[in-house]
Homo-oligomer: A and B are copies of this chain.
Amino acid sequence: MAEKRVYFFGKGKAEGKAEMKHLLGGKGANLAEMTNLGVPVPPGFTIATSVCQEYESNKGKWPAGLNKEVDENIAKLEKAMGQKFGDNKNPLLVSVRSGAAVSMPGMMDTVLNLGLNDKAVEGLIEKTGNPKFVYDIYRRFIDMFADVVMGCSHSNFEKAIHAAKEKAGVENDNQLSAEQLQDVVEKYKAIYKKHVGSAFPQDPKKQLVNAVNAVFGSWESERAIKYRKLNKIESLLGTAVNVQAMAFGNMGEDSGTGVCFTRNPSTGKKEFYGEYLINAQGEDVVAGIRTPQPLKSLNKAMPNLYKELTALMTKLEKHYKDMQDIEFTIQEGELFVLQTRNGKRTAAAAIKIAVDMLKERLINNREAVHRVTANQLDTLLHPSFDTNAKRDVVAKGLPASPGAAVGQVVFDAEAAEKWEAQGKKTVLVRTETSPEDIGGMAAAEGILTVRGGMTSHAAVVARGMGKCCVAGCSDISINEKTKKFSVAGKTFKEGDWVSLDGSNGQLMAGAVPTVEPKMSGDFRKFMTICDKVRKIKVRTNADTPEDAEKAVGFGAEGIGLCRTEHMFFEGKRVWYVRQAILEADNYAEMKKEMEEAETKTEQQKIKSKYSETKKNFESALRRLASYQKKDFEGIFKAMAGKPVTVRLLDPPLHEFLPHDKATQSEMAKRLGVSLKKVKEQVEKLNEFNPMLGHRGCRLAVTYPEFYRMQAKAIIEAAIAASTPKKKVVPEIMIPLVGHVEELKIVKEEIVDEIKQVLKSHDTKLTYKIGTMIEVPRAALTADEIAAEADFFSFGTNDLTQMALGFSRDDVAKFTAKYIEYGIYKDDPFQVLDQSGVGKLIETGVKLGREQKKTLKVGICGEHGGEPNTIEFCADQGMNYVSCSPYRVPIARLSAAQAASK
């Protein structure tokens, strides 16, 4: 039997079902599901996504057999509706819509009122007695068909309707009379013929075939590809095509169309929410051309219908166990549901809905954590406007997507993308947005539109992106040519700073200061749910007591990476660092000479010079140690007994030396050496590939004194910060180990120092010594290394650099092309390269745990806050991930999602 390609739905029964989403697309599966549920869905049929793929590989031809199946379904549909395609009594009109397995709002082309032709127009007039409506939908259909299916731009028709309105002396389309519209139809046909090169097709089947092909073709359109890429949507077969009998919302004052949500998508509040337009088709709402009315006013206008709709909303939410986004049409007082889907929502709404639905027992913990995305959470962790700051509000629009956006004005998507690449923050200002603007919307800090409502393209997409958006700000007028907009007597040009408040719709002049985000009660509740579900711990990367405190506030369970070198640069201490570096070499040389001196006399000769060098070196180190001790003490106290992993000095020493002449001179003066000496030292420490040079534990092999100093500071700080109840157990981490012998040698020095410190303090202290796994060789020989280490921490930044041979400072020259060509799907420094670097981690964890079952393993590279990486780390059985303070909540969420997948 041949494969089934077309699935019928209607009259309470559908051939498809919800589980067939991959084949029927989200919309098709939903229509089937709703039909089966008894929801009043206009009947129709779905051409499967697999056909899109066949069409592609067939080079734009229909596979054999499809035509027959389509014809059979048209017949079925005609029967169900009691109508006929192109009939001059009761013609069948259909909508043709795309619908892939993953929702892509606005990305796919849609054709409405298909089936209209000169004969059907007659039939429809006869049936409805409403020639104005019929000519109106006919002219709309010609326009849309030309634009979407034949590639003849909508703007070609704009002039004609504009002229007609001018001639009639009216402002809105719906003020035109039937005759005037009939005239417009004729003009449209002429325009069509002129631009397309052939007459407007009168055969409804031919219209359908062309429309179906247009849907298929749009799957490979640039904007669709871009959207999939931006949203990392892959492995789909293609889009399905939904052909469905039309329901008319524009058949008069007892008709209408709308969009509704079962809960408020902006706040998450449990309320019926939405908007509708009387006497309009669906795209009028979505495109934001007319500003619609709020849903609750429908209760007054059509109370019965409102009751029916809200009952359906409740039914659908309960069925789908998630907030629903429902499109409906009222045709002459009769309700039709066109589609329902899980509604997009703001981050705050997502959290409230998850927490509420859990309370309502609609979902459980494991489901709840999947109701908020990491990106959504991220927006909540971004700053909002300082309430004390002065706001120069120049206009107000709809609060379409919350957030605080501060940026420079740009007027097109391209500029937004270009400026972002240059590191500039922008606010994208548009009359209305279209799918072509997706890239620019992603690049901008916020979006401001003149037209469109809360469910306009701009609003929906911005909410999906977690991006601030103010829509329908009709007070402003844009001049795209001069790249200016004016409002309230003020003019803003490209590059001017503005601020947008997505929570109240305000547009402000200038850059308004922002403040740190505050966590709402629901946020805390939601995070607690995440903590219940997740298995892997979340630590933070923090180098100061302030960061440590902030991270604890965000729920960090310890510090996974405390970098000590940042402390080296603070204030005066950099001079001691520089002195120590100068003396380190002198001392190393003198030490060697002393060791090699064969007789006591020889030793005596150099002894005074040796002692002086030693004294200088040690005194510089001692000063650093006292600074470091204070730093560590502050951090230990902030963490109050939570584990703290301190990484010993990592960067090459030349990073601490000045490279400009002025500072070199200052250094010479301060340290009492010649400028020549300073320059020589800078020159001597210079490296061709500092990334692979004399750094990390390699420094400690040649100059053990630095690590000894740090170990001393850590232990003394731990002693000072310990209380009888909360003992500090410092975790000392040795970076850049590639060979177990390095670790052994360095560890021996540190342990020796620690013993001395504990002895001199006459006390005991538990401490751990572990290592970063960031050199590929370390991962490959992790069994040997684990024998000497209390813990492993994967340093995925360096591990990525070495495993891929990518210098993070240099790859910008080619990574754009690499991602464009899809060599790497994501920047491997942002999203862990699981198939390459991941293998090293896998090997490292496996070998390490084989050697030492209790080995504590974590990750402290910047990937530690990236959701996919967190899932990977959890799968590897790591004990914790560590990330920047702001990413801690995201890590907690991602860990929970990973644990409940």
Contacts and interface: CB of A to CB of B under 8 A. Distances in A.
Interface of A: 687-694, 698, 701-702, 736, 738-739, 741-742, 745, 774-777, 780-781, 798, 801-807, 809-811, 813-814, 817-818, 821-824, 833, 835-837, 839-840
B692 A814 contact: no
Contacts of A687: 807, 809-810
A692 B801 contact: yes
A823 B807 CA distance: 26
Contact of A691 (B807, B813, B818): B807
Contacts of A781: 835-836, 839
B689 A813 contact: no
A327 to B, nearest CB: 33
Contacts of A836: 738-739, 776-777, 780-781
A741 B738 CA distance: 29
Given A702-B817, A742-B823, A803 B802 contact: yes
Contacts of A692: 689, 691-692, 801-802, 805-807, 810
Nearest to A813: B694
10 smallest beta-carbon distances between A and B, as pairs: A692-B807, A689-B807, A777-B836, A688-B809, A693-B810, A741-B823, A775-B805, A689-B691, A689-B689, A687-B810
A736 B698 contact: no
Contact of A818 (B701, B775, B801, B835): B701
Contacts of A805: 691-692, 736, 738, 774-777, 798, 802
Contacts of A810: 687-690, 692-694
A814 B739 contact: no
A774 B803 CA distance: 10
Contacts of A803: 775-777, 780, 802
Contact of A693 (B741, B802, B813, B817): B813
Contacts of A698: 814
A454 B836 CA distance: 59
Contacts of A801: 692
24 contacts: A690-B810, A691-B805, A691-B807, A698-B814, A701-B823, A702-B813, A702-B817, A739-B804, A739-B836, A741-B822, A741-B824, A742-B823, A745-B821, A774-B805, A775-B804, A775-B805, A776-B802, A776-B804, A776-B836, A776-B840, A777-B833, A780-B839, A780-B840, A781-B836
Contacts of A817: 701-702
A837 B777 contact: yes
A814 B739 CA distance: 14
B702 A814 contact: yes
B690 A739 contact: no
Interface centre among A805, A806, A811 (most CB of B within 10 A): A805
Given A689-B689, A690-B807, A698-B814, 7 more contacts: A688-B807, A688-B809, A692-B692, A692-B801, A692-B807, A694-B810, A776-B804
Contacts of A745: 821, 823
